[in-house]
Amino acid sequence: MNPTQPENYCIAGRLRLLSRVVTGLYNEAFADEGVTFAQAGLLMRIFAQPGIRQAALARTLQIEKSAMSRDVQLMQRNGWLTENVKNGLFLTENGTATAKRCHKIWKALHQNALDQLGPEAVAGLSLFSDKLLQFQIESNPFTTG
Amino acid sequence: MNPTQPENYCIAGRLRLLSRVVTGLYNEAFADEGVTFAQAGLLMRIFAQPGIRQAALARTLQIEKSAMSRDVQLMQRNGWLTENVKNGLFLTENGTATAKRCHKIWKALHQNALDQLGPEAVAGLSLFSDKLLQFQIESNPFTTG
DNA sequence: GTCATTGTGTTGCATATACAACTCTTGTCC
DNA sequence: GGACAAGAGTTGTATATGCAACACAATGAC
């Protein structure tokens, strides 16, 4: 890695491209389960923190609260979330089972990603990610998540 | 950067988060121009390669051709693209002027990003990006773009 | 020349996301 | 206790994106 090389690509464009590519790969892996990766991620988070509020998830994931509201409605339609959403999110039995299966899939995917990409590439992403998110926190210290 | 540290975050989730954050920052910068970053990127590419086909752009950006078709229609409605889209994309006068203004904005944004993030973080992203895209090319050598 | 294949673009339908405006609840100040 | 402020959630509207199915054009095999 030679930091003196000028970078000739657009950082934002590249990030968006990588996001599309990885989302596609992960969606493919979750397709058998009838879940998108975005939904699987929410399922796993709610499994880990039952009763978490939409607003908290939205802050953590840096998703607009309206987008989160619609994700939640979709997951309700899919039968994964219980009714009273305004006092915290809770998985149904079906949702719990799906979350567990998703976690298995995710674990395999993640290990595969680490193996394929190698530790240096992953560390590179971490470095970039930490820097960008740190900058963001400095700009707005109230985004605590 | 210590590659022996285990990574405890989800690579796909993190990439999607970074994409959301950066998209938001860039969209904000382009808002005065009445353009989103996605549109600005297309404008600049078509400016650089007049007559480029939708399919070529879709391959380069790894966007589905149907998504690209809709982006193109939107840009036509905005008055930036000429009519006969099926034989290559060409900017109108308005589109050309907008593309030029977008390039100015982008240049400033990009320099600012390099300054704020620092060369190591950017190199980290490059490393990750190269590895992921290389892996993708190996999986499918016909995705030439 | 005809037919099969392949490439390009569009449309139907769905999800993921943003911003703005609204409603409700809750909490605080006086 | 009542007015005001802040936070949570929803809905309207829009863009960005994907998959599947389709139409059409170009290209080759024969």
Cα(A122)–Cα(A115) distance, integer angstroms = 10
Helix axes B37-48, B65-77, angle to 10 degrees: 90
Residue B140 pLDDT: 58
Cα(A54)–Cα(A42) distance, integer angstroms = 10
pLDDT (average), residues A19-44: 96
Average of per-residue pLDDT values in chain A: 90
Residue B79 pLDDT: 94
The tokens describing B85, both together, are 């889209």
Residue B61 pLDDT: 96
Residue A140 pLDDT: 58
Q: How confident is the model at residue A7 (pLDDT cuts 50, 70, 90)?
A: low
Whole-model pTM: value is: 0.88
pLDDT (average), residues A68-91: 94
pLDDT (average), residues B11-18: 97
Q: Tokens 């993190």 correspond to what residue? A: B14
| Residues of chain B with C-beta less than 8 angstroms from the C-beta of A62 | 17, 20-21
Assess A140–B contact: CB distance below 8 Å, yes or no.
Answer: no
Cα(B125)–Cα(B127) distance, integer angstroms = 5
Assess B106–A contact: CB distance below 8 Å, yes or no.
Answer: yes
Q: Which residues partner with A81 through β-bridges?
A: A91
Could you say which nucleotides of strand C lie within 7 A of any protein CB atom?
7-12, 15-21
Residue B19 pLDDT: 97
Give B9 or B137, the one with higher predicted confidence: B9
Residue B80 has pLDDT above 60, yes or no: yes
Residue B84 pLDDT: 85
Assess B55–A contact: CB distance below 8 Å, yes or no.
Answer: no
pLDDT (average), residues B55-62: 96
pLDDT (average), residues A13-26: 97
CB contact under 8 A, B22 and A132: yes
Nucleotide nearest to A71 (CA to C1'): C16
pLDDT (average), residues A80-92: 93
Q: Which residues partner with B91 through β-bridges?
A: B81
Q: How confident is the model at residue A136 (pLDDT cuts 50, 70, 90)?
A: confident
pLDDT tens for B38-55 read: 999 999 999 999 999 999
